Chains A and B, each alone.
Chain A
């Protein structure tokens, strides 16, 4: 790691100023993805702007028909939050399955979303619930947040502050882990809110995405049997040592069926 500066601002405004003044600076949330990248030399920012000094970015709050989760809320806090467990148990379950216990104690929802790792779990929930990403300057709907491999709609100096999840009637997340990293080889989040069905997939493409064919089938009838004849094309899906594109294409409807079963349970 070459010479690096470190800032721990105590207000969002100060974060914004530091980020604006130094385009090569990186925001530091829990650090569970950034620090390994720094160590391996994959990332060499000029400065780290630590968001750890901003208690207002932390915590879960029920606001009417939505849950507001601060960007610096750890995965463990989401997993253990009584509000999340009561209102969106699928989200608590998802958070409880991210990485391992030590990682969940440090890693944050904001950090995960801003990083947009193609195999991360949270993007599936954000897309699968139709959440809204709050930043220091705007609200970004989930559907326009994920842009590609490690790429989001955030401007370089934009600060993700919170995520607002609407409360679904039914939801579930089923993850098939990559055996070594335990990231999602494929993860599927389904939700039913009124007549609206969402099916979001992580691990299978450059970033999380929704699957219209599955959503339409489930909108007709929210039941696992609705998906029996649906197959996924493999041509745009990820392929690596642990899973061919065909394998991922196969897993998506299988896991979706399981998620629907769980959501109905």
Chain B
């Protein structure tokens, strides 16, 4: 620590960004209106699967206010939406990678697939114009059910006649099978990880502008990673020089994964902005978000756990089918593979694990990363299976977990990861205490007096965050390294602007990153400003997802700040007539070791920019440093969650009464923000467990949960107060801040805790299994089915 003041790191500092948000002065993409603004609407397929016989745009072109109409035929000279990961099947063949056209060419493959772009003077006229486009369809049978997609006689894409994108596996199958052969007990479970629709409250939006004066484009867009958007759009879709495209992600109203990707609408707008010669804005209506934002999860899985007579895990065997949807979204292939199967060791020293993943195409919206991305699916299947095993063996569920915890680190799992550090016993012990597990029987009895059934459920999760070590990512199929860039610019007065490639859309980077840099330089928080989200300002970035911002982006900033201090020492050495080695930076000043001679940070900054008698040949003026950080490993946040539910057996209504989370995120920079991240994750996880489930009609492929009136997002009265604590845990060993990431934990750890609690509550009714979302209808049906079996 470089300052006499108390460090900011570790303090629950109020957020710098909040003034603008609480006063409504934030600027979101839809708030931006450019001179001569025009507006766009898209004609979208009402069918899940159809050949386009004809698309007649004549009437739309003549409609009042309509400036231009484009269809797939106009866009044949540009590329499709690219995919960022290449997965190879077990047999060595690359995944099937069908073209994802910006506007449909010969076929539409999901309800909502865009067919035509209408540009008009107003949003209303664009929409009216869209209604005049006449499309003739030859409707085809739709492939909807992922479990049977491979057996369907219909193909979503000609290049994948069996609808299989890839069949991939990890782990030693022979060793796993052998372990099962000698097991004392095997627990088997079939699971569905329900499909979710992200529903960030800000709908996707874009505003594209072409300037003939500079022959360049500017795109304002709701993106979690503007630099990747620019790279993909310039190099792979539009074929325009990257320096002629500026992408700005201004304030973004939540993402949760859904705004990582390059979307067709955004590319269409940029392409059309030059032809129309005016800026074009499009803002999704919520119903469009439902149809076209990349969805999440959507796995069907069978899991088998082999145990010995003492309850030690011998092996885990998993077979998963993962839905890719109609096209491969940017990260899609890596979610059920790299981010799912590699996490299946969880917190346990299971010696043998094998997981096979079949990815299939269906006539549904693309599926990609949604908060947690693969890790919730892994945690859900593992923690459901472990709790089932405990029940079958009549072992207390926390005790069974404890018997199998990994205790020595680093630990190499049988599915390819090496955990650097962790202490799973600590979070489990603490959560049992916080959750007052001892008081559960009394609470259960009290619930019963009110005619309600109470249950308790556990979940111990691990996640791999700080995505990703580039070498590992590359070996696993990433088409780019996943480092992060940071730049620290010290101004002549000693004030600092930090440029980061990590985009903030709720995470509070403007505060957390400022805490880190302010501590580094001994400055007050207000002297540090964080800039992000604009490719014209920030050198490069890989964006915000996978709880990577502080671990990777923050580390890049620390590296750049260290370079600033190194250079500051050299400048101070010159000014103080000492040698470089004799200068140290301490308590906010550069000092000659062992003397009282020093220069303040601001004095050095001024000297760097307005040098007098400066050795320009040896020491370049200016105080501005860039750094890239490529993490040597993932980080491994972990924790233990306890959920208590109450179920009304007469109606099937269930309510989470208590939820206790104890996490080990390593070092914590801002505990207030970290807690908030956990709260949000828990809400989404409980939402997945109890409320949220995307449903398509099995025959027609129509989206049945296409609005907030049918897709239930958690509301304030659906959720309890959360008990959340972060243990003084095990700092990450390989990044300079010792941080691990906290954004996804809640969404990863909570769904199995909720379902395990429900199954505990319903065990006396004979209910052994329950899929998510455990809606009142589903719970009632489970109770009735169990009753009928008796």
- Do any beta carbons of A and B sit within 8 angstroms of each other in the complex? yes
- B-binding residues in A (CB < 8 A): 1, 40, 176, 179-181, 183, 185, 241-244, 247, 250-251, 254-255
- B704–A179 CB distance below 8 A: no
- A247–B781 CB distance below 8 A: yes
Q: Please pick, from B650, B775, B780, the residue contacting A179 in the complex, using a CB distance under 8 A.
A: B775
Chain B contacts for A183, CB-based, 8 A: 709
Chain B contacts for A180, CB-based, 8 A: 691, 705, 708-713
Residues 748-790 of B contacting A (Cβ, < 8 Å) = 775-777, 780-781
B583 CB, nearest partner CB in chain A, Å: 62
Chain A contacts for B781, CB-based, 8 A: 244, 247
- A241–B705 CB distance below 8 A: yes
- B709–A179 CB distance below 8 A: no
Query: If A241-B704, A241-B705 touch, does A247 touch B780 (CB 8 Å cutoff)?
Result: yes
25 of the cross-chain contacts (CB-CB < 8 Å) are: A1-B124, A176-B653, A176-B776, A179-B691, A179-B712, A179-B775, A179-B776, A180-B691, A180-B709, A180-B710, A180-B711, A180-B713, A181-B708, A181-B709, A181-B710, A185-B776, A241-B695, A242-B775, A242-B777, A243-B777, A244-B777, A247-B780, A250-B780, A251-B651, A255-B651
How far is it, in angstroms, between the C-alpha of A241 and the C-alpha of B776 when the chains are bound? Answer: 11
How far is it, in angstroms, between the C-alpha of A243 and the C-alpha of B711 when the chains are bound? Answer: 14
- A241–B650 CB distance below 8 A: no
How far is it, in angstroms, between the C-alpha of A181 and the C-alpha of B705 when the chains are bound? Answer: 11
B710 CB, nearest partner CB in chain A, Å: 5
Which A-B residue pairs are the 4 nearest by beta carbons? A180-B712, A181-B709, A179-B712, A254-B650
How far is it, in angstroms, between the C-alpha of A35 and the C-alpha of B711 when the chains are bound? Answer: 21
How far is it, in angstroms, between the C-alpha of A243 and the C-alpha of B776 when the chains are bound? Answer: 8
How far is it, in angstroms, between the C-alpha of A1 and the C-alpha of B652 when the chains are bound? Answer: 41
Instruction: State the interface size on chain B (CB cutoff 8 A).
Output: 21
Chain B contacts for A181, CB-based, 8 A: 708-710
Chain B contacts for A244, CB-based, 8 A: 777, 781
How far is it, in angstroms, between the C-alpha of A250 and the C-alpha of B695 when the chains are bound? Answer: 24
How far is it, in angstroms, between the C-alpha of A3 and the C-alpha of B710 when the chains are bound? Answer: 30
How far is it, in angstroms, between the C-alpha of A242 and the C-alpha of B692 when the chains are bound? Answer: 12
How far is it, in angstroms, between the C-alpha of A115 and the C-alpha of B357 when the chains are bound? Answer: 50
Residue interface mask B677-721, A partner, CB < 8 A = 1: 000000000000001000100000000110011111100000000
Chain B contacts for A250, CB-based, 8 A: 780
Between B287, B653, B713, B776, the greatest number of chain A beta carbons within 10 A of the residue's beta carbon is seen for B776
Chain B contacts for A255, CB-based, 8 A: 651
Between B651, B705, B711, the greatest number of chain A beta carbons within 10 A of the residue's beta carbon is seen for B651
- A241–B780 CB distance below 8 A: no
B767 CB, nearest partner CB in chain A, Å: 16
A212 CB, nearest partner CB in chain B, Å: 23
Chain B contacts for A176, CB-based, 8 A: 651, 653, 776
A255 nearest in chain B by CB position: B651
How far is it, in angstroms, between the C-alpha of A1 and the C-alpha of B125 when the chains are bound? Answer: 10
How far is it, in angstroms, between the C-alpha of A183 and the C-alpha of B707 when the chains are bound? Answer: 14
Chain B contacts for A185, CB-based, 8 A: 776
B141 CB, nearest partner CB in chain A, Å: 23
How far is it, in angstroms, between the C-alpha of A243 and the C-alpha of B779 when the chains are bound? Answer: 11
How far is it, in angstroms, between the C-alpha of A179 and the C-alpha of B651 when the chains are bound? Answer: 13
- B777–A247 CB distance below 8 A: yes
List 10 other contacts, CB 8 Å, given A40-B287, A181-B709, A242-B777: A1-B124, A179-B712, A180-B710, A180-B712, A181-B708, A241-B710, A243-B777, A250-B780, A254-B651, A255-B651
B718 nearest in chain A by CB position: A179
Chain A contacts for B710, CB-based, 8 A: 180-181, 241-242
How far is it, in angstroms, between the C-alpha of A183 and the C-alpha of B287 when the chains are bound? Answer: 19
How far is it, in angstroms, between the C-alpha of A179 and the C-alpha of B650 when the chains are bound? Answer: 17
How far is it, in angstroms, between the C-alpha of A1 and the C-alpha of B131 when the chains are bound? Answer: 11
Residue interface mask B640-677, A partner, CB < 8 A = 1: 00000000001111000000000000000000000000
A106 CB, nearest partner CB in chain B, Å: 17
B695 nearest in chain A by CB position: A241
Residues 274-289 of B contacting A (Cβ, < 8 Å) = 287
How far is it, in angstroms, between the C-alpha of A255 and the C-alpha of B650 when the chains are bound? Answer: 9
B439 CB, nearest partner CB in chain A, Å: 29
How far is it, in angstroms, between the C-alpha of A40 and the C-alpha of B285 when the chains are bound? Answer: 10
